[in-house]
Amino acid sequence: MTLRFLAPLVLAGALGLAACGGGSSSSGDTIPADADVVVKAIDGIKWDQSSYSAQAGEVTIAAENVSSLPHNLHIVAADGTQLPGMIDLPNRGRVGTMTVTLAAGEYTLICTIPGHNNMKATLAVS
């Protein structure tokens, strides 16, 4: 298959995944004004708060790295299932966003980088 025919298939697949209600993410250097939840990775290998809250439905999470180490943000459901998508925060000043559809319940925000086990916070969705 040539690249000319492959590109539309890749685009169609990406659009199909985005419509499934999973996560989507982007990166930049500013926190969007419409973010429902703002999480900051701070020095001491931790999040800036131990708990956050949001309304059920489509939730936009913005994360900012204000520490000197790389971090990432993953969402884990109460049953231990890691939700699709993540925010990569490779260096100080990096901001990333992710939009996910969440049902009411309690979730955990974690960083999966080895040695960052302390980076856990609760996300209460009502």
Domains of the chain, each with CATH number or no CATH: 23-125 (2.60.40.420)
Confidence (pLDDT) at 24: 56
Rg (CA), the chain: 16
The H or E element that residue 3 is part of is helix 3-18
3-state secondary structure of 85: coil
Per residue in 18-34, pLDDT (tens digit) is 333 455 566 667 999 99
Q: Closest Cα partner for 24 from 104, 93, 83, 94?
A: 83
Distance CA 79, CA 47 (A): 22
Per residue in 30-83, pLDDT (tens digit) is 999 999 999 999 999 999 999 999 999 999 999 999 999 999 999 999 999 999
